[in-house]
Amino acid sequence: MNLKIENIKFINCLKNIMFFILVLLTTSCNVQSKSKGYDNLDILYKDFVHYLKIGGEDLKEYCFRICPDEGTVAYMEQNNVSYRGIPDELKKQNLKVTVIGEEYYKSVIRFREQLVQNKQLDSLVYIGREQQGEELFDKRLKVSATETFILMKSGNDTIRCKLGEMFNYDNKWKSFTSPKLGW
C-alpha cells in the first residue's frame, strides 16, 4: 500500500516537472522570436525587380518582409536600441509595426504604376548596386548598414532607386526609411 502511494507521489512529481519544462520552453520560444526577411542584401535587391513584375499580394509580402517586423522590434527591445523611432515611437503612439510595411508598400505601388505607365516594367532587369559593401553601424551588436542606389535597366533607360536605409538587425536586412524610387 505504501509503495502504491509513493509511486503516485512520484508520478505526480514527474507531471509537475514536465509541465514546468513545457512552460519554460514555450516562454523561451516566444521571447526569442526571429525576424523574417533576407540575410543576403544582394538577393533582397534582386528580388525587388522580381516582385515588382509580379505585383499583387506577392509584392505586398515582399515589402513587409523587408520592413521592421515584430521580430525586429523584439530584438531591438532586448538589446535596448532604437533607430528612427523604432521601437520607441511605435510604443508611444500605440502603433503596430505593420504600419511601416503598409506605408512602404504604398510607395512601391506608386513606383510600379509609374513603370507600367512608362512601359518599363516588362523589360525591367536588376543590374546591381551602385556602391558595394556595408558600414559597421553598431560594433556591439554587429549591425551593418547601407543606403546605396540600386540600378535597374529597362530598354535604354537606367533607373536608380534606394530601398531606404538598410540595416542588418538580428541577421535580417530591414529598411528603416521610405524608399526613394525612380530617381
Note whether 24 and 40 are same-domain residues.
no
Residue 180 domain-assigned?
A: no
Residue 181 domain-assigned?
A: no
Note whether 42 and 114 are same-domain residues.
yes
**Number of neighbours of residue 37 by Cβ within 10 angstroms:** 23
Note whether 99 and 24 are same-domain residues.
no
Contact status, residue 123 vs residue 144, Cβ threshold 8 Å: no
Give the list of residues 6+ apart from residue 42 with CB closer than 8 angstroms, or none: 128, 129
Note whether 56 and 4 are same-domain residues.
no
Number of domains the chain contains: 2
Which amino acid, residue 81?
V
Q: What is the pLDDT along the chain (183 residues), one digit of tens a residue?
A: 555 666 555 555 434 444 444 333 333 444 444 889 999 999 999 999 999 999 999 999 999 999 999 999 999 999 999 999 999 999 999 999 999 999 999 999 999 999 999 999 999 999 999 989 899 999 999 999 999 999 999 999 999 999 999 999 999 999 999 999 865
Note whether 27 and 41 are same-domain residues.
no
Q: Rounded to whole angstroms, how far apart are CA atoms 161 and 48?
A: 11
Residue 63 phi, psi dihedral angles, 5° rounding: -60, -45
- Which letter does DSSP use for residue 153 in this model? E
pTM here is 0.79
In the block, cell 542606389 appears at 149
Note whether 132 and 112 are same-domain residues.
yes
Note whether 77 and 151 are same-domain residues.
yes
Note whether 167 and 83 are same-domain residues.
yes
Look up the domain containing 18 and give its range: 1-31
Note whether 10 and 61 are same-domain residues.
no
Q: How far is CA 38 from CA 58, 71, 75, 120, 152, in A?
A: 15, 13, 16, 26, 20
Q: Rounded to whole angstroms, how far apart are CA atoms 140 and 73?
A: 17
Note whether 85 and 126 are same-domain residues.
yes
Q: Rounded to whole angstroms, how far apart are CA atoms 124 and 99?
A: 28
Residue 99 domain-assigned?
A: yes
In the block, cell 532587369 appears at 125
Residue 21 domain-assigned?
A: yes
Residue 182 domain-assigned?
A: no
Note whether 141 and 123 are same-domain residues.
yes
Spacing of C-alpha 138 from chain mean position = 18
